[in-house]
Amino acid sequence: MNEDRTRAGFAEFVRAENAASTRFAYLLTGDRQHAEDLVQVALARVAVRWERLDDPGAYLRRVLYTQAASWWRWRRARPPEQLDGFVPDRPAGPGDDVDLRMVLQAALARLTVRQRAVLVLRYYEDRTEAETAKLLGSRIGTVKSQTRHALGRLRSLAPELAEFVGRTPQEVTR
Reply yes or no on whether the pLDDT at 74 is more than 70.
no
Mean pLDDT of 86-111: 65
Percentage of the chain exceeding pLDDT 70: 74
Reply yes or no on whether the pLDDT at 172 is more than 60.
no
H helices of the chain, where? 2-29, 32-49, 56-75, 98-109, 113-119, 129-136, 140-157, 169-173
Class of domain 93-174: mainly alpha
3-state secondary structure of 90: coil
CA-closest candidate to residue 116, choices 78, 80, 90, 91 = 80
Q: Give the pLDDT of residue 34.
A: 85
Q: Kindly list the domain boundaries of the chain, sorted by start residue.
A: 1-91, 93-174
pLDDT digits (tens, 9 = 90+) for 109-155: 888 888 888 988 888 888 899 989 988 888 999 999 999 999 888 88
Answer with the residue of higher pLDDT: 26 or 96.
26
Judge contact between 50 and 87, C-beta under 8 A. Answer: no
